[in-house]
Structure 1
Amino acid sequence: MARNNFSWKDRIRSFSHAFNGLKIVGQEEHNFRIHLVAAILVIILSCLLRISRYEWLAIILSIGFVLVCELLNTAIEHIADFICQEKNPSIKKIKDIAAAAVLLSSLTALLIGLIIFIPKFLSMSSLTHLF
């Protein structure tokens, strides 16, 4: 039977579990760290180029999209490995599909970055020819 009592202690505990999950992924998953470094570089570049408020929204959503896909991919891989330790074509298919989500989110983020940053770099290069 479901418990209907609200508890601040339970809410705070749920945040601690989520932060623990981020800590685990940060320590154990190389691809998550790569995406995190890329996100930091994009944030620095965005600050340097003084992107607009709407461009910031696209950048923040892109970063979140990639990191969430990476987290879900990692969770799916761990579940699959827990269920079946030996090689299994069905488990491989599940893992490949989850990895494809990360790839698609990364390509989407790359396209958004190119749409935002290429015009800024082009305008900078045209300004340098004036001097």
Structure 2
Amino acid sequence: MSEAPDLDALSFKGRSGLTRILNATGYSLAGLRAAYRGEAAFRQLVWLNLVLLPLACLLDVSRVERVLLMLTPLLALVVELLNSAIEAVVDRISLNLHPLSKQAKDMGSAAQLLALLIIALTWALILL
């Protein structure tokens, strides 16, 4: 009985140095394109960011407040990317209804809800 050779996880990682950075950038841009094309919630958050980020630059607030006003909408984009990734993996495994699949998707949705609440709370506390 032959054993399968031990596979080094690093052998799957690809190149190093500048090539790795360029490849990683390409993968990241592909992920952003896929999210924008395939996820309505991501598109909505992009448009929200296109409103809130310039608005944060125009408001008469301190630098720290401006950073908070800009980071919170960007955080929601990050959370939505992770939520969409979780949903894609769950759907890839099986489209059958399963309590753990539902739980994973609900938790991703809850994370996004909290990110949106963070935006609202941050903007309200700074502006009001």
Name the TM-score, length of structure 2 as normaliser.
0.83
Partner residue in 1 for 2:83: 73
1:60 matches 2:102: no
The alpha-carbon deviation at position 50 of structure 1 amounts to 3.2
Higher relative contact order (CA 8 A, sep 6+): 1
Task: Decide which of 42, 57, 74 is 1:47's aligned counterpart.
Answer: 57
Which blocks of at least 5 consecutive residues in structure 1 are unaligned?
Answer: 119-131
Which blocks of at least 5 consecutive residues in structure 2 are unaligned?
Answer: 1-7
Output one character per residue of 1:56-78: Cα deviation in whole Å (capped at 9) or x when no partner: 21022212211111000000000
Aligned length: 118
Partner residue in 2 for 1:83: 93
* C-alpha separation in 2, matches of 1:22 and 1:115: 31
Q: Equivalences for 1:13-32 in 2 at 5 Å?
A: 13-32=23-42
RMSD of equivalent CA atoms: 1.8
**SS of 2:70's equivalent?**
helix
8 Å CA contact 2:56–2:70 kept in 1: the answer is no
Partner residue in 2 for 1:122: none
Name the TM-score, length of structure 1 as normaliser.
0.81
The alpha-carbon deviation at position 6 of structure 1 amounts to 3.1
**SS of 1:95's equivalent?**
helix
Percent of residue pairs bearing the same amino acid type: 30
